[in-house]
């Protein structure tokens, strides 16, 4: 007997574990008949999950927290029994903006604080000349992309709510928006940064791991009510996706995984671009310059699959920082309760209740994150917004 599931996803490489679980038979081996439904926007994925059209979803890590708190939409408790990936985003600028930032750089251009300060000088010069504010694309208000862009900009003295425009764009629309001049830069997941570079219209300035070395990006999400009614199916799904993530991480399997993801029903781009991403070997400039990083996209290694309540607390703190929600101990507890390492460990037959080697959430600027004193943490951040 098999259990049928409808699962929504967005065409991004960080859906690799979910897609591989279906295509390589890991889901079938667990008695699951999974239909993957490709969507174009995160609001579609969220809404269809919340009303029950999807049983589970590949979704932005902050969205289940926002749904569970009732921020920005109806309140629907959601649980995260597995993290699909850590990191995997990048910040891409138009050639013109990249040149303007480089002209203002004083220091090491690989340092996000140096580039953020250079961006601040570019912003100030545009203001003095009466020019239009710069426009940056990000994928959703409740997204790591939004928070990473804001963190980077604020550290250099740019107020992302006053000095520039931040607009929401579905990931597949980023490249055309940059090409058409509607945006000057964006933060998005792979492969869309690479597509912009390969098209000669963008330059990657930072990987997301330059901003926060270890950040939950996409997660496997299910409605809490559904999860409580279907514990065996949930456990089977977690096992299938976890095993697929391990499979996709293995160097010997990356070429096959890239070819699967490249198919039109999934991402629909050249498999070589996907392979480079899986290898952490990205072309960052139209001239062919390659940058390698083992931390660019982490699917299973270093406990990447474990849903970590510390990551949930950090995401909640960003919501507080940027005035998406007021701060409260009750809300923090709810946010941390969304990420369920107990469900993950139980599904895999383990005795633990969390990451085997918990790691702090740090960034290129400011202190290490302390979930026990969020107000002090926010007060210590450069260019802070939330009044502590």
Output the pLDDT for position 355: 62
Has residue 356 got a pLDDT over 70?
Answer: no
| DSSP state letter for 56 | E
Q: Which of 195, 211, 227 is the last residue of a domain?
A: 211
Output the pLDDT for position 382: 84
User: What is the chain's Cα-based Rg?
Assistant: 20
Q: What is the pLDDT of residues 100-152, one digit of tens each?
A: 999 999 999 999 999 999 999 999 999 999 999 999 999 999 999 999 999 99
Has residue 59 got a pLDDT over 60?
Answer: yes
Residue 283 lies in a domain: no
- Considering the domain architecture, whether residues 323 and 346 belong to the same structural domain is answered as yes
CATH number at residue 194: 3.40.190.10
Residue 115 lies in a domain: yes
- Considering the domain architecture, whether residues 198 and 232 belong to the same structural domain is answered as no
Domain that holds residue 112: 89-211
Burial of 106: CB neighbours in 10 Å, binned 0-12, 13-18, 19+: exposed
pTM of the complete model: 0.96
- Considering the domain architecture, whether residues 76 and 136 belong to the same structural domain is answered as no
Output the pLDDT for position 298: 98
What three-state secondary structure class fits 107?
A: coil
- Considering the domain architecture, whether residues 146 and 191 belong to the same structural domain is answered as yes
- Considering the domain architecture, whether residues 365 and 254 belong to the same structural domain is answered as yes
- What is the distance between the alpha carbons of residues 275 and 180, in angstroms, rounded to a whole number? 27
- Considering the domain architecture, whether residues 181 and 247 belong to the same structural domain is answered as no
Residue 292 lies in a domain: no
Output the pLDDT for position 357: 67
Find the distance separating the first CA and the last CA of the chain, reported in whole Å: 55
Output the pLDDT for position 353: 65
Q: Which two tokens stand for residue 200?
A: 């000669």
Output the pLDDT for position 359: 85
Output the pLDDT for position 239: 98
- Considering the domain architecture, whether residues 9 and 113 belong to the same structural domain is answered as no
Q: What is the pLDDT of residues 240-294, one digit of tens each?
A: 999 999 999 999 999 999 999 999 999 999 999 999 999 999 999 999 999 999 9
The percent of residues above 90 in pLDDT, for the chain, comes to 94
Q: How many domains does the chain divide into?
A: 2
């Amino acid at each position: 007997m098999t259990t049928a599931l409808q699962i929504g996803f967005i065409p991004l490489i960080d859906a690799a574990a979910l897609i591989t679980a279906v295509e390589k038979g890991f889901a079938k081996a667990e008695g699951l008949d999974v239909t993957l439904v490709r969507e174009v926007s995160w609001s579609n994925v969220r809404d269809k999950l919340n009303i029950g059209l999807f049983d589970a979803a590949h979704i932005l890590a902050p969205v289940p927290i926002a749904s569970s708190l009732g921020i920005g939409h109806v309140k629907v408790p959601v649980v995260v029994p597995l993290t699909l990936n850590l990191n995997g985003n990048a910040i891409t600028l138009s050639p013109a903006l990249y040149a303007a930032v480089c002209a203002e750089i004083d220091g090491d251009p690989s340092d996000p604080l140096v580039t953020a300060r250079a961006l601040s000088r570019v912003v100030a010069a545009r203001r003095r000349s009466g020019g239009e504010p710069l426009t940056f694309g990000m994928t959703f208000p409740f997204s790591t992309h939004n928070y990473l862009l804001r963190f980077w900009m604020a550290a250099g003295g740019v107020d992302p709510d006053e000095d520039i425009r931040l607009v929401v764009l579905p990931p597949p629309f980023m490249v055309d928006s940059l090409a058409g001049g509607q945006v000057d830069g964006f933060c998005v997941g792979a492969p869309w940064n690479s597509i912009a570079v390969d098209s000669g219209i963008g330059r990657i300035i930072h990987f997301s791991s330059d901003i926060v070395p270890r950040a939950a990006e996409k997660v496997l999400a299910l409605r809490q009510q559904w999860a409580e009614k279907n514990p065996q199916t949930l456990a089977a799904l977690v096992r299938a996706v976890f095993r697929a993530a391990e499979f996709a991480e293995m160097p010997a399997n990356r070429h096959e995984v890239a070819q699967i993801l490249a198919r039109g029903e999934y991402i629909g781009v050249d498999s070589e671009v996907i392979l480079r991403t899986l290898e952490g070997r990205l072309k960052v400039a139209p001239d062919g310059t390659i940058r390698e990083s083992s931390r660019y996209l982490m699917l299973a290694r270093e406990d990447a699959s474990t849903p970590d309540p510390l990551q949930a607390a950090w995401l909640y703190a960003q919501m507080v920082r940027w005035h998406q929600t007021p701060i409260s101990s009750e809300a923090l507890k709810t946010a941390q309760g969304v990420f369920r390492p107990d469900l993950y460990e139980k599904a895999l037959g383990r005795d633990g209740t969390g990451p085997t080697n918990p790691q702090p959430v740090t960034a290129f600027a400011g202190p290490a994150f302390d979930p026990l004193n969020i107000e002090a943490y926010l007060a210590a951040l450069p260019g802070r917004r939330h009044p502590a």
